[in-house]
Structure 1
Amino acid sequence: MNTRHIGIGVALAAVIGAAAWWHFGPAGPAQQQDAAQQGKDDTSVLVQTASVTRSSLAQTVSVFGEVAAGKPESLSFAQAGQLLRVPLVAGQQVRRGELLATLGSDPTAQSNYEQASNAVGFAQRELKRNEELLGLQLATASQVDAARKQLRDAQASLEAQRRLGGGQGISRLEAPFDAVVTALPVAQGERVQAGAAVVQLGRTDRLRVLLSLEPAQSARLAPGMPVKITPQQDGAPPITAPITEIQHMVDPKNQMVTGIVDLPAGKTPQLLVGTRMQAAIEAGRHEAWVVPRQAVLNDDAGAFLYQVANGHARRVAVRTLTENDKQYGVEGQLAANLPVVVLRNYELKDGMAVRMGSR
């Protein structure tokens, strides 16, 4: 009896073991189901997406530059002489009315002034004498007219010599506006000719920015285009102003083309000449697809992104028109109703199955 029960138990255990092996073994239904699920997970990628929009975007050109003084102006003395004092150095800031230089007039200029002054005195006496003779009928009216003309000529000559500084032993040259000294072509003690440049000033109340442009960039730009300038100086706010001029030559030192922006007067008191600037030039506006920066990838074929259609990734070639720190403006065959992949897009291939998460 006991032997029979033992045999039945062994047989039952064998049947249960075989059934478990068939169900859970390598070829059983449970394993097949797990394998199928695993295969499904291996062929799809969980991605994050964002919507796309179409908008008119400014196409900007990013460049660098530096603050410069206003257009340089050369100052000089009207007469020749010797520079007695030049209390300046290049780069020095000067205020309106501040002394720039003193000049000792040339002896020849002083002599010419004295001669002109003497000629005026002689002409005055000559006119008076002829007028008296005319009253005594000992001179004619034409002689009086000639004497009067001689006086006018002598006075004009004296005025010219006065303007040339001949009447002053020492002449002063003062700053006509607030400025920075951009050049000193002469030195103290030198003798200079009349009209020779003594100092070159750049206005500080009318600053400008000199932009360094690639030659290829300069061909796309034109005066009047708006520029947003950001000084690389603590506390200085951005400034917007149009391009004033684009020079049509390449600087032999840096192989760049210079663009000039005149800054608004009175709005840049905190800027120093030589301050570095970053500028964004608006070169036009374009209709473009606006997508997050991380949506756009690049490979040997160029820029592209992925859109999701019916649970699969669709590769779309694009061309970048404009950009900022968060977005790209692109051109390509995008569908407005399909989201773009912004996370794990680097794992995708065209046509791969994806599972979407929103952004």
Structure 2
Amino acid sequence: MKRVVLAIVGFAIIIIFIVAYLFNKNKSTQDNLSNRTLIATVNVAPIKVKTMSKYIVAYGIVESKPGTANTVSLNFDATINKLYVVDGQNVVKGQLLFSVIPSPTVQSQLMQAENSLNSARENLKIVQEKFKLHLVSKQDILNAQNALNQARIIYDNLKKTYIDKVYSSIDGVVTKINYTQGSSVASGSPILSIADVKNIAIKCGVEPEDVNFLKPDLPATISLIDYNRKITGKIISISNIIDPATHLINIYILPDTKKDLILNSYVEVNIPILTKTGLGVPKSALLYEDGHYVIYTVKNGVAKKHVVNVILKNEDYALVSSPDLTDKDLVVTQGAYELKNNMNVKVQK
């Protein structure tokens, strides 16, 4: 009886193993058939060799090239009598800018110098008359003449210094007026600024962490916001300090052309800091899976999965690298989310 029971149990175990084997084999066959028969419709595009750049984007303003703006000031205290120009006005060399009234102290100095000059003239006349009467020597005449010459030099210098009308020394545009009519101006204070339109540049600010990528003569593209136009230029100077007003580092860019550049107008600047050449694919081809990017290529109706390294991206394309990709491959641009490796596909015409 025990032998019969053991035989039955053994036979049952064999039957179970046979059933399980047949079930798994049938499931594997069905899966393989499913992978072979499932077809996805996709769009493809050729992989192309492309050159792409990474840019720093900054915003700036058109102003005078550093060191070329003409700042007008006085070397004496005065009051603005009348302004003859306004902000933004074009001026030519020799054009009257403003008139002033020297301060009482300045006027007193000028009056004293004029009185000293008149006294020296009278004194010379007196000495000359005395010389005719043999009352003084020739040396006395020379001394009186030297005193007159000295008084004249002092008066002429003050007269040149204490002017009452100020004229432009260059052709340009008035960019800033710091005082109004009737204002008191201290010696050395900038009254107005004139920009030389032949020497303009783009001043823009960049983030401190980006400045290490920049250097003089690096090319830049300048977008004229008001004119929907782009021009080229190059970096001519980079500041070594952070601007406390913007917390950015100022750089100056010299444009290749001055056409359509208006002082104080705003522009957008793109500066390439990295340029690479490689295999370019449309951005729509990129999938992000398990911490890395993948793409699918199609060959002979079968989709092949590739893990890729993304080097650079722009609005439309990504520059990628992978050891098994070439510029002869076709990359899936639409329908990739439905794909698996080695899946049959139909390319939509």
- TM-score, structure 2 normalization: 0.71
Q: Does 1:198 align with 2:191?
A: yes
Contact 1:45 1:354 (8 Å CA) reproduced: no
1:49-198 alignment to 2 at 5 Å? 49-53=45-49, 57=51, 59-70=53-64, 71=66, 73-86=70-83, 91-96=87-92, 99-124=96-121, 129=127, 133=131, 139-141=137-139, 143=140, 145-165=142-162, 170-174=164-168, 176-184=170-178, 186-198=179-191
Between 121-130 and 190-199, the greater mean CA deviation after superposition: 121-130
- 1:239 positional shift: 1.3
Instruction: Look up the equivalent residue of 1:263 and give its one-letter code.
Output: P
Contact 2:296 2:303 (8 Å CA) reproduced: no
Instruction: Look up the equivalent residue of 1:280 and give its one-letter code.
Output: N
Q: Does 1:321 align with 2:312?
A: yes
Structure 2 CA distance for aligned equivalents of residues 221 and 349 of structure 1: 43
1:2-81 alignment to 2 at 5 Å? 40-42=36-38, 46-53=42-49, 57=51, 59-70=53-64, 71=66, 73-81=70-78
Mark the runs of 5 or more structure 2 residues left unpaired by the alignment.
Answer: 1-30
1:272-351 alignment to 2 at 5 Å? 272-299=262-289, 301-308=291-298, 311-321=302-312, 323=314, 325-333=315-323, 335-336=325-326, 338-344=328-334, 346-347=336-337, 351=341
Please provide the CA RMSD for this pair.
Answer: 3.9
Contact 2:303 2:339 (8 Å CA) reproduced: no
Q: Does 1:238 align with 2:252?
A: no
Structure 2 CA distance for aligned equivalents of residues 135 and 353 of structure 1: 130
Instruction: Look up the equivalent residue of 1:66 and give its one-letter code.
Output: G
Structure 2 CA distance for aligned equivalents of residues 321 and 134 of structure 1: 99
Matching residue of 2:255: 263
Cα 1:349–1:255 shift into 2, 3 Å: farther
Contact 2:285 2:295 (8 Å CA) reproduced: yes
Instruction: Look up the equivalent residue of 2:296 and give its one-letter code.
Output: Y
Identity between Structure 1 and Structure 2 (%): 17
Cα 1:232–1:148 shift into 2, 3 Å: same
Structure 2 CA distance for aligned equivalents of residues 283 and 39 of structure 1: 46
- SS class of match (1:113): helix
- 1:225 positional shift: 0.7
- SS class of match (1:352): coil
Contact 2:96 2:165 (8 Å CA) reproduced: no
